[in-house]
Chain A
Amino acid sequence: MGKRVGMEVSIAAAEAVALIDVDVVAAYPITPQTHIVEHLSELVANGHLDAEFVPVESEHSAMSVCVGAAAAGARTFTSTSSQGYALMVEICYIASSMRLPIVMAVVNRALSAPISIWNDHSDMMLARDTGWIQTVAENGQEVVDLLIHAYRVAEDHRVLLPVMVNLDGFIVSHVIEPIELPSKEEVQKYLPPYKPLLKLDPKSPVTMGPVGVPEIYTEVKKAQDEAIKNSKKVILEAWEEFAKHFGRVYKPVETYRCEDAEIVILLMGSIAETAMRAIDTMRERGKRVGLARLRLFRPFPVEELVSVLKPVKAVAVIDRALGFNGYTGPLCAEVKTVLFNHALTPYVWNYIAGLGGRDVTVENFVEMVEMLEERAARKEPMGYEIINVRE
């Protein structure tokens, strides 16, 4: 096992991709993803990583190169943010539908307009239905670990789907954190070489990505839907194996002080660390509050959420993006679907927080929980609000 060293998370992410020994990296620089790609191009240029680095002219091309490379049997990586991701989305659907095990780090940043280079989850939510497996990291070590895990899941023949690892722009990506990088040998023991099930090979010709006439399209989509549902088992297995190899234990839903909690704060990403501080403060005041953080967003961790939320009286769902549908943020919509499907009826209030880089503080969390309790007590119809907004 390697030493823990202080390292910028983006650099650590690039180093992890090098340890994974990818064959092709195609990327276009965009803030705040830039350092990952810059460092990868350095690693390729100085011979530390034997890979084809394709400096494409757009994110649409970046994903297209990844699709072509993966179809030819290469292990591929790309990374993007925000507008770049938006431009890439067309090909993201193609990557998952063609069942290509591409891995991408999405350094989450707000979508324009107004132009914002800062962090929220509107880019991630833009493409929540692309058919990619999606994980969300809380900190730097988790970024490294989720990237290694991503390839093991994506390339498993029971899965063969692309995986997106989300990390918060700047708040995670540009912070220097203590990171433990495994050795290449350790990574290789965990991650066998990629053996494609189908690939573009002149000796055995196939057509990938052809027309699917109405008689065929639905069957292909059903197979894809089953694949992402069934990927859950492999995702869990790969985390179990990860714990055996590297000693760190990962679950689809991470909980904090939920054992006897009456109120649960539910969210994704790095603000979980602030939420935990707030929960400690509230616990000292005798409030039974806990945290549920989704590490796995696609496939949605239904069983884990049900077991966490079953005994709970009220839930504060924190969205880092708007839904613009007039009644809920995107994450809360999914949580409410799970609750409804399982006939669970806690009081749910949806807070839209931390848009375009606005900080979400300990005090914000304390206030959100207090307002949740008040609303639940007066049986106010459930809904959502943007917090921390000037009137």
Chain B
Amino acid sequence: MSALFLLQQCLIGLTNGGLIALVALGYTMVYGVLRFINFAHGDLIMLGACAALGLVAPLGLAATGGPPSLATWLGIVAMVLLCGLFCGGLNVAVDRFVYRPLREAPALAPLVSAIGVSFIFMNIGLAWIGPADRGFPQVVPAASLLPGNGVQFGWKDLLVLVVAMPLIVGTMLLMRTTRLGKAVRAVAQDRTAAALMGIDVDRMVATTFFLAGFLGGAASVIAGLYTNTISYQMGFQNGLYAMTAAVLGGLGSIRGAVAGGFVVGLVRALSTAYAGERWTGAIVFAVLIVVLAFRPEGLLGHRVKEKV
């Protein structure tokens, strides 16, 4: 258990974390504006992965062993964009037809509907790719970029960081600096007040759903290329870790979701390495409980005082 081994695990944690953070952002953004956890997000990503699998051949991608060519990179970018648009569009449609009629309903209603939507998605995925695990072509090889046998950092890991990091940073900047981000944040703070200020609330909510879906679509491409298997049940596991990350970081907080994603990724990698993969879930959960016992609002969330 040398320092090199630890470093290796941290690198794995970083790549894992990037993927988890990307998904967690989708949860936390929707939570921010509508105060409910979009349970179907994990399964949306599963559908995105199905779409990505369908796009492999049309985009001229194929399994290779060598370093990816420029055409491969371009193909991957196109795949990220297309899957992003697909998931974003799907998310907006679901918002329009399922969640929007429930804006004034009690808090439980949208959440339960989201569980329903997640079932529908799962069934679509089942019909799309069948009940068995499907292999996803190894478009990007796992071969290490670094010389020697000490620390492995493969093309795949690079891919995750190259796709996830710009999106994560971009989302954070978008929400913090642009007018769109400000409008979305205004809606998140107080929907009625934002509406009175002339912000089109429904459009902002739809925008949020689109952004969340887009990030989810990108995540689905990475998930496919990185793990090389997809199944109609992958949404639940992916979603569970990402939801944990969102809660850990503080629901509704963009920075919190990113931080939570990396913490969960790191904990996952370290516990897989040191305690065995079968205990990973339990250890991540234990970390979550410990953090929540001390900070119920999450790592970077802020305390919300009830209005009286």
Bound pair: A and B? no
* Residues of B that sit less than 8 Å from A by CB: none
* Residues of A that sit less than 8 Å from B by CB: none
